[in-house]
Amino acid sequence: MNPVRIGIIGLGTVGAATVELLNTNANQISARIGRSVVVTHASVRDPSKPRDCDLSQIELVSDPATLVSHPDIDIIVELMGGTDLALKLCQQAIANGKHLVTANKALIAEHGNQLFAAAHQQGVAIGYEAGVAGGIPIIKAIREGLASNNITSVAGIINGTGNFILSEMRDKGRAFDDVLAEAQQLGYAEADPTFDVEGIDAAHKLAILASIAFGIPLNFKAVYTEGITKLTAEDVNNAEKLGYRIKHLGIAQRSEQGITLRVHPTLIPQSQLIANVHGVMNAVRVESDAVGESLYYGPGAGGGPTGSAVVADILDIARTIDADAQQRVPYLAFQPDQLNDLPLLEIGAIESAYYLRLQANDQPGVMAQITKILGDLAISIEAIEQTEPAPDDRHATIIMLTHRVTEQSMTKAIKQIEALPTINGAITMIRVEHFNTRQSS
């Protein structure tokens, strides 16, 4: 059979790793799919720049538009990042009948609906496994491995930068800004870390996971997003003392009322597996009716892991490149005409337990005022701890864990408590999740 010919847009860390993996494991790849896969062309900004891969058989060009219209390229691999130019190039590639592989989660989360519609019309495949959780094959696991299951919840640590920062804050008691600076030095965080620390990167990934889990169109704008920049070492330590760990989670849940999509710091019991994922590692927890709880763990970024996911998509497409398009796995797990516009609920509708930290005047009657507000809103307290103020300080720190209640009620309670003259400053609120676990015999 003729080789499958690849054109890569972008030869950075992931692009170079993709080329090297295809070269190093060429014999194994050919044995698996029954034909060879070769990179014939690549688009780079500077063709004279040294690359961490063998370029002897690759024609380098500086204009990526020449790749998407090249008659001798079967699959376009988009690894340039961004959404504007990448979207135009991918649209043109699809229009020209090219199959597409991308690691661009922002592109899929924000423009996937239109790209998939165009690809469906043209009968071409789109692979995007590398866009979520790097080397963890979570897209394939949910889309294919759990295809017979009714999935009710997906929750994950899907940004390694944020997880590294929180791990360092917990293990070494370091401040957020200090750890962020180290993450930038180590290359875990960009010079502008906004996408990572404010949860935007995780929100892109969560939108994708929710779509394939629940059969809904991609809707990045519906994801409630909260970052980790306001977390303090004090909160991380308090969580540890209470038997919890703080993780920056993306959570998608389905109920009878609808679907909630949210990214925010979360207290998780230390006994749960996902609470013990540290450093730059990723993990995704899926809850479904037949399997129950399953956890997928591994490196979420880096050239090797992400390149592995890119090559896996290339091989999937290469296996079926000559097959009827109707025989391929649907882009979003469900047939395009079977996607449902299920209700997407606002953050106020979720039900959660809560961690509260507040500063109050050290005087009689303060706790009675706080507990009355909570009681009037049917919010019960699971645990409470008060630290004595320093000799020169008139304010005591109060830590509370509540039982489950709607966020709307909790938000109302916090506003009322903050309005008390005995309360000093804003209240810190962090959601608490006790994921259901089902033991199998």
What residues are annotated to the active site? 205
Bridge partners (DSSP) of residue 219 are none
Question: Which tokens belong to 350?
Answer: 């979720």
Q: How far is CA 417 from CA 354, 386, 394, 409, 414, in A?
A: 15, 16, 18, 12, 5
Token readout for 379 is 């919010």
Of 109, 339, 306, 332, residue with least CA distance to 203: 109
Listed residue (300, 286, 339) closest to 202, CA to CA: 300
Amino acid at 405: V
Q: What gap in Å lies between CA 269 and CA 275, rounded to an integer?
A: 7
The helix (H) or strand (E) run that includes residue 69 is none
Residues β-bridged to residue 287 = 153, 293
Q: Is the dihedral of CA 302, 307, 308, 310 positive or negative?
A: positive
Looking at the DSSP bridge assignments, the partners of residue 281 are 299
Q: Which of 254, 249, 206 shows the shortest CA–CA distance to 226? A: 249
Nearest CA to 377 among 346, 403, 350, 347? 403
Q: What's the CA angle centered on 64, arms 63 and 70, to 5 degrees?
A: 105
- Of the chain, the end-to-end C-alpha distance in Å amounts to 48
Give ∠ CA 3-4-8 in degrees, rounded to 5.
130
Q: Give the separation between CA 180 and CA 167, rounded to whole angstroms.
A: 12
User: How far is CA 422 from each of CA 48, 364, 368, 409, rounded to the nearest angstrom?
Assistant: 66, 10, 12, 21
